[in-house]
Structure 1
Amino acid sequence: MAFFEYVSPPSSLKYSPSYFTSLTFLRAASLDYPSIASTSIIEHWCFSNEVPTTASGTLIQPGELIPRVQDLLPISREMQQAFAAGYRSVDVVLNHAGHRTGLCYHFSKIRLLIAINNHHAAVLAAGALYQHVITSNLLSSADAERFGNSRITTPISGFQVTDFPLWKLGCLLGEAWLEEDVVNALLELLYFHNAMNSNDDPSFIILPTSFSNDLQFLFGQTPRLYSSNFDLIRRRLRALPSATVSWIICESNHYSGYRYGTNSPHLRLGDSMGRLARADDLPSFTWLTPRPY
């Protein structure tokens, strides 16, 4: 048996990568997700040539405390080489609150444990999102059922500048940090909402977070050349001589808002932490703005 076949959990097994791929919002909301250790609990580990067949060595048991991914990755990185040397499992000593337990993990269980770590945030966010949608009556009964039966990894649709799995919408609940992809979706929704309420050709442009990074990069090159996307922006600005341009930058997980009116060379910055604009923000955008013919 080849290594990748040996270490891959059966697709029908709970907590396998395939299990998470097919997980729906309804099932995520009712899932009793395993607890993940907040600190290191693997005190010692070594490879073994034993092929485990017990439930504790091959499956996730009810109430089982899951080692954190930082402790599992060193094992995972060496498994292929160990497999080639004839090893088929890992002997581990777990130490939780002073209580030591010796276990023998099949290589495939290591993959299960890592998958549980990797999907923890997604499952919790999806479950909370589903509960909020249902308890707040945000959808009709038919749409709520459709939403509940949707996979949490289903990509969001209908947007031009962003693409992300539906579970990431859970960051909109409470006071969680907003995912940058979700922020870009909100910006696009804002643009189309304002455009629909405008009787004329909209005199405003709202740009995604990638705009600022691209602008800074091109402005710092020698020679300075416009990309095809920036040529389109310049063409749009030229068609709207009194346009207002707004965009958001994401820097060190912090968002700042910019606003620029083409009829006045002033850059307005909104920042909840009082940060100042970067030195090249105004010169770079002035470079992008087309000159009158």
Structure 2
Amino acid sequence: MSAQVSIGDFAVMTSLSRKALRHYHEIGILEPAHIDAHTGYRFYDTSQVDHAHIIRRFRSLGMSIPDIKALLSTDDPATRTEIITTHLEQMEMQLQQTRDTVGALRELLSPVHTPAFVAVRHEPALAVWSIGATVEASEIDIWFAATLMKLWDAVAIATRAPSTVVPGGLYDRELFLESRGRATLFVPAPHSVEPPEGVRAEVLPPAEFAVLTHPGGHEGIDRSYAALGTYANEHLISHQGPIREHYFGGTPSAPTQFTATEICWPIFSTTPAPQ
């Protein structure tokens, strides 16, 4: 048998403050069983305790008010399961992001180390299909994904077969220095085929690079850039040309899921280029 209790007793029973109870009343997810018309005092039913506990528990787990409202307003077990499962997946994603952030912060406590292996390499002239644009550094990830997909599609249509090409990128120093500059993505040009509209055919000139392979995509790549730049300036002669990257492991269905990113830092050659 249930009973009506004061807001004070209900607060003790549910660990919800007066302020929280008033807020949940105002937004319609936990309304009092009775409000005294003369005093305005709120009274709750003891049968509402479980309801209140559900709200408090899920709020403590970061579930949004709309999701809690949807959870409490449905009697369908499948709908409830879907809401809770979606929230759990969001929590797992946030947990992984926190772990990644903690790992990155711990790494920052150590100085940049000299990379284990830096290759000095001559890149010959290369015929490519490319798409370039002047982009803001804050928007480059969106531009990168869309442009890379467009290049994958262009090559797939031209060759009529799954592409095994290794795409690359060129990034002017202004993009790093001013947070806005020229970026170009490219793929080796298919033989004897004209590029589609919006894709440019060009030849990248030969160049000398100090090369470091960074595992994965762009996560944590700033540390690899720092290590490679340190090496290039301490042991070689750095050139102010664009930075070049090569992307390994992507596929047409997941073009930005790289297994490795090759960073190519331009340098002045101290030996004749191979013939």
**Fold conserved between structures, TM > 0.5:** no
Bigger RCO (CA 8 Å, 6+ sep): 2
Name which one, 1 or 2, has greater alpha-carbon Rg. Answer: 2
Which of the two has greater strand per residue?
2
Which TM bucket (shorter chain)?
Answer: under 0.3
User: So what's the TM-score if we normalise by structure 1?
Assistant: 0.25
TM-score of the two chains, using structure 2 as the length reference: 0.26
